Amino acid sequence: MCGIVGILGTKPVALDLVDALRRLEYRGYDSAGIATIEGGLLQRRRAEGKLRNLSDRLSTEPLAGLVGIGHTRWATHGKPTERNAHPHMTEKVSVVHNGIIENFRELKEELTRAGAVFASDTDTEVVAHLITHEMKKGADPIAATKAALARLKGAFALAIIFAGHDNLMIGAREGSPLAIGHGDGEMFLGSDAIALAPFTSQITYLDEGDWVVLTRGSLDIRDRQGRRVDRPMITSQASGFLVDKGNHRHFMLKEIHEQPEVISHTLTNYIDMSEGRVNFPDIGLELAKITRVTISACGTAYYAGLVAKYWIEKYARVPVEIDVASELRYREAPLPEGGLAVFVSQSGETADTLATLRYCKANGQRIASVVNVRTSTIARESHAVLPTLAGPEIGVASTKAFTCQLSTLACLALALARAKGQISDDKERELVRALTEVPRHISSLLRDERRYEELAHYLSKARDVLYLGRGISYPIALEGALKLKEISYIHAEGYAAGELKHGPIALIDENVPVVVVAPEDELFDKTVSNMQEVHARGGQIILVSNVEPDATGCSVVAHLRMPAVHPFVVPLIYAIPMQLMAYHTATFMGTDVDQPRNLAKSVTVE
């Protein structure tokens, strides 16, 4: 989603603001802007499109202020134009904002009647006018902001500066993350620690409902009721992250190639390699007494949860309820007393997932979160955190985060199965051994990408692509279709192979590529039967399997040969060709692989 940066500095901040915003590009955006204070007056530069457009603007119209705020915007209200880009301003106040102000229409009507003139189509502008309205009634900036915050409904993070006050910045957080950076005679605000890493490693995260008054030498944090509170200062590891592409053309490709390493890190966190057993952390709930698991997530993380459903039900024999986060809490699903609810999120800030977590928590569930950011809101509101050790994932399309989520969930499934007495020690060692072999198998798959480059030429001509899989391969078919459509913009759909004859088969002709995910497992013959139905109707089959096409009785357009692996780890291995197919097709088509249109990395609004 949108990115926020604020600097109370000792030298001109414009270029530092842009540099910090560049570190937030991974969130996805369609416009950018900064505002500073010069000679007591607010000055602003904005640009539609990429940050280079804003940089070009600043090269001809520089800003010299020592305090400023910056923003990358992903459009929610109003088109992605310069007039809707942040910061939004009046003569007294400048604001940048992540999230949605749900009651902005009522506030806008009220403020318009009071004489405010709006210059954009955004919900954010009401914040600037609301604070200005309070200041015109005689309130100082702090009192005016406090009064305005009390009237806002929704999820938001705000950074605010004021004309005539070049040693003051106010931040506020309600549902969207915001971090304070501590410098030497300087203070910073940012959507996350990555943005602030060039300036400081000393970070304080605001809690829900907090707002903060910053000067260069002080901070004053208040809670929702206006009471002064202390929040801990931590040393962030983000300062050590080298957020660059290395020798790769895109972040996405770099992150695909990082998977053997980061999966190893994640597995090492949960497995006793010497004993061949899962060494799972205490989640504050006796695993043997769990009668049902509820899993919720969004997008790719949901597909990781869907794989976990197959694992947990097969190996631990515990029923699993799973739904996308944007649906589960609105169904008002009944939850068993003392049940386990698992939430999966790369950023740990996904708004729908966080809202559903709170629903489950309020209904007596023990909360475990699978997240890549241990200091995130979802992590902080969980009873137990199951970290993935993927490191920063910059590409919008999730790759290494997905396989690290799968690695963590696989270990959870084994821990639950052992606690339930559903697997023997020998079986546990067999499955752990299969997991420890995953990085090696992925490394072998990544050694030769030529076949994917060749296949990309063919797929780029398709208007529609279908993905089929059975059993635990079905979520991988769904994930493969999502990857292709989100970065190449080719329409793609994943189906359970057994559902083919119940409707989707009507779509198949000689112009439709059909990706068949078919590992040699107990369902292989069933999958081949569906594959033959595709073949009989002229569908162009791309077989992803460790079995040769001759054994299927079908001719294929391409065979993506896979290693023979234990069925338990098929999702981890077979995710790789899904990623590479999508990546090379999108690259061949010239799309923006790392920042595909209309998408954002961290979705912090519902």
- On the 0-12 / 13-18 / 19+ scale of CB atoms within 10 A, 499 is middle
Residues 6+ apart with CB under 8 A from 13: 7, 36, 65, 66, 67, 68
3-state secondary structure of 229: coil
Find out whether 346 and 369 touch, Cβ atoms under 8 Å: no
Q: Which tokens in the block code for residue 339? A: 């049940």
Q: Out of 92, 309, 483, 601, pick the active-site residue.
A: 601
The string of DSSP codes covering 146-205 is HHHHTT--EEEEEEEEETTEEEEEEEEEEBS--EEEE-SS-EEEESSHHHHTTT-SEEEE
**CA separation for the pair 295, 309 (Å, rounded):** 8
- The answer to whether the peptide bond before residue 504 is cis (omega within 30 degrees of 0) is no
Q: Is 601 a catalytic residue?
A: yes
**CA separation for the pair 171, 209 (Å, rounded):** 11
E strands, 449-490, are 464-469
**CA separation for the pair 402, 575 (Å, rounded):** 9
Q: Is 2 a catalytic residue?
A: yes
**CA separation for the pair 267, 275 (Å, rounded):** 14
Among the listed residues 416, 198, 167, the one whose alpha carbon sits nearest the alpha carbon of residue 289: 416
Find out whether 347 and 602 touch, Cβ atoms under 8 Å: yes
- On the 0-12 / 13-18 / 19+ scale of CB atoms within 10 A, 453 is middle
Q: How far, CA to CA in Å, does 181 sit from each of 3, 197, 219?
A: 15, 9, 10
- Strands ordered across the beta sheet of 320-324: 320-324, 293-297, 340-345, 366-371, 384-387
Q: Out of 2, 298, 404, 554, pick the active-site residue.
A: 2
Q: What is the DSSP letter of 500?
A: G
**CA separation for the pair 148, 379 (Å, rounded):** 29
Among the listed residues 130, 46, 44, 42, the one whose alpha carbon sits nearest the alpha carbon of residue 83: 46
Q: Which tokens in the block code for residue 433? A: 């051994």
Catalytic residues: 2, 601
